[in-house]
Amino acid sequence: MAMKRAAASAVRAFTSSGNFASSSVLSRGLHHPQKMFRLLIRRYLGNFLGCAENALGIREWLESQGHQYIVTPDKDGPHCELEKHIPDLHVLITTPFHPAYVTAERIKKAKNLQLLLTAGIGSDHIDLKAAADAGLTVAEVTGSNVVSVAEDELMRILILVRNFLPGHHQVITGDWNVAAIAYRAYDLEGKTVGTVGAGRIGRLLLQRLKPFNCNLLYHDRLKMDPELESQIGAKFEENLDEMLPKCDIIVINMPLTEKTKGMFDKKKIAKLKKGVLIVNNARGAIMDTQAVVDACSSGHIAGYSGDVWYPQPAPKDHPWRYMPNQAMTPHISGTTIDAQLRYAAGVKDMLEKYFKGDDFPPQHYIVKDGELASQYR
């Protein structure tokens, strides 16, 4: 219903993604003018839809319908391009990789805004409560990059377990010191791996880990159905604090919400096995930044890898850049070319539905009719 109301009135949109620019759509001469804005990344390939130049591949389509589509990477600070367009936007599209932070203050200024689309998964860059209070719809392309992230997590687990990065570094620096690598390189087989969150990504990771003959555990708000659980071969741990000390490797796979923000603080990290490896491609702010630095420095965490930080882009002095035993990257796991094709198609599909006044697939909604999706409440 909210979508129908939205489409019946004037609409503008604004999108953002990676180094990824922001874009907005503003229609001219239509009954229902649209303005959108999005944030994108730089161009490398024809299929690199997430870049500013390629603009999710929807510019021609939007402009042919008379909408104005503004794309920019300039979205931080009071004088950025995004701020200039905020009062006019009808739709704002952003990727989570280089997000446009949609604060309560920005929502207040966005008098025409109706729809916030995330070109990917994870809408924590938006003040969801403020969006709900303002009657905005927030939706993401649920499922679009889950395979990309699960594959990346498997890679990060192996990189940490095998102590791969220092070995690679030796090659670059002209060294050859096998002992310096091998003294802390292990097989993955036989290790206990626990995922905190076993939704779409967590389950795909567990499925991919099964052939490695690990002991697989998962903690989630919800227990899987028994058939799926036995197929995946993972054991449910209702109590997170009981699962943590059992794990050699912990992978974070839940959203950033009021409940999960800062969940891995000093106290929680103290419950982990000494020498634990952690992979976090979920969200940086689930961890207490300094607690992770301290535990990596003391060796309590023997390796930390992930692609998510707070804030993003990570400032040059972010302490995770300098802590020992890290294998961090910029936010890249969910934006392979395959993922870009899927999230770009998902954004187009939702815009088509929005213009027609149709509902989106129910799993795409994060905020609808003033209500947050259940795991964000």
Ligand X SMILES: NC(=O)c1ccc[n+]([C@@H]2O[C@H](COP(=O)([O-])OP(=O)(O)OC[C@H]3O[C@@H](n4cnc5c(N)ncnc54)[C@H](O)[C@@H]3O)[C@@H](O)[C@H]2O)c1
Query: 37: which 2 tokens?
Result: 């804005």
Question: Of 4, 28, 109, 221, which lies in the binding site for ligand X, with binding defined by CB under 6 A?
Answer: 221
**Bridge partners, residue 358, by sequence:** none
Does residue 170 interact with ligand X by CB under 6 A? no
**Bridge partners, residue 305, by sequence:** 279, 327
Determine the 3-state secondary structure of 138 from DSSP. strand
Residue with tokens 């003033």: 370
73 marked among binding-site residues: no
Picking from 355, 354, 356, the residue whose alpha carbon sits closest to that of residue 138 is 354
Does residue 255 interact with ligand X by CB under 6 A? yes
- The active-site residue out of 312, 325, 326, 340 is 312
Question: Of 108, 223, 259, 267, which lies in the binding site for ligand X, with binding defined by CB under 6 A?
Answer: 259
* Residue 231 known to be catalytic: no
Does residue 72 interact with ligand X by CB under 6 A? no
Residue with tokens 């919800």: 222
CB of 338 to ligand X, least distance (A): 13
CB of 158 to ligand X, least distance (A): 17
Contact 287, 315 (CB under 8 A): no
Instruction: Closer to ligand X by CB, 89 or 251: give it.
Output: 251
Piece of the chain touching ligand X by CB under 6 A; list 23-31, 100-108, 125-133, 199-207: 199-207
Which residue has its beta carbon closest to ligand X?
199
Strands (E), the chain: 12-16, 21-26, 35-40, 68-71, 91-94, 115-118, 137-140, 192-196, 215-219, 234-236, 249-252, 276-280, 301-306, 326-328, 365-368, 371-372
CB of 139 to ligand X, least distance (A): 13
Site for ligand X in 127-156 (CB under 6 A): 145-146, 149
Buried b (16+ CB within 10 A) or exposed e, 168-184: eeeeeeeeeeeeebeee
d(CA 167, CA 177) in angstroms, rounded, equals 8
- The active-site residue out of 145, 163, 253, 325 is 145
Question: Of 27, 68, 312, 333, which lies in the binding site for ligand X, with binding defined by CB under 6 A?
Answer: 333
Does residue 118 interact with ligand X by CB under 6 A? no
Does residue 307 interact with ligand X by CB under 6 A? yes
Does residue 346 interact with ligand X by CB under 6 A? no
361 marked among binding-site residues: no
Does residue 253 interact with ligand X by CB under 6 A? yes
255 marked among binding-site residues: yes
Site for ligand X in 271-290 (CB under 6 A): 281-283
Does residue 199 interact with ligand X by CB under 6 A? yes
The DSSP code for 349 is: H
* Residue 79 known to be catalytic: no
How big is the CA angle at 212 (ends 210 and 215), to the nearest 5 degrees? 65
256 marked among binding-site residues: yes
Peptide linkage before 311 cis (omega within 30 of 0): yes
* Residue 312 known to be catalytic: yes
The DSSP code for 283 is: -
d(CA 229, CA 195) in angstroms, rounded, equals 13
334 marked among binding-site residues: yes
Instruction: Closer to ligand X by CB, 37 or 365: give it.
Output: 365
How big is the CA angle at 42 (ends 38 and 46), to the nearest 5 degrees? 95
Question: Of 91, 102, 136, 201, which lies in the binding site for ligand X, with binding defined by CB under 6 A?
Answer: 201
Does residue 308 interact with ligand X by CB under 6 A? yes
* Residue 68 known to be catalytic: no
Distance of CA 205 to the CA centre of its chain: 16
Determine the 3-state secondary structure of 140 from DSSP. strand
Does residue 122 interact with ligand X by CB under 6 A? yes
Tally of CA atoms within 13 A in the half-sphere of 245 that contains its CB: 6
- How many residues in the chain? 377
307 marked among binding-site residues: yes
332 marked among binding-site residues: yes
d(CA 28, CA 11) in angstroms, rounded, equals 11
Binding annotation for NAD(+): 200-201, 220, 255-259, 281, 307, 331-334
Question: Catalytic residues, which ones?
Answer: 145, 283, 312, 331
Binding annotation for substrate: 121, 145
Binding annotation: 121, 145, 200-201, 220, 255-259, 281, 307, 331-334
Q: Which residues bind ligand X (CB under 6 A)?
A: 120-122, 145-146, 149, 197-202, 220-222, 253-257, 259-260, 281-283, 307-308, 331, 333-334, 375
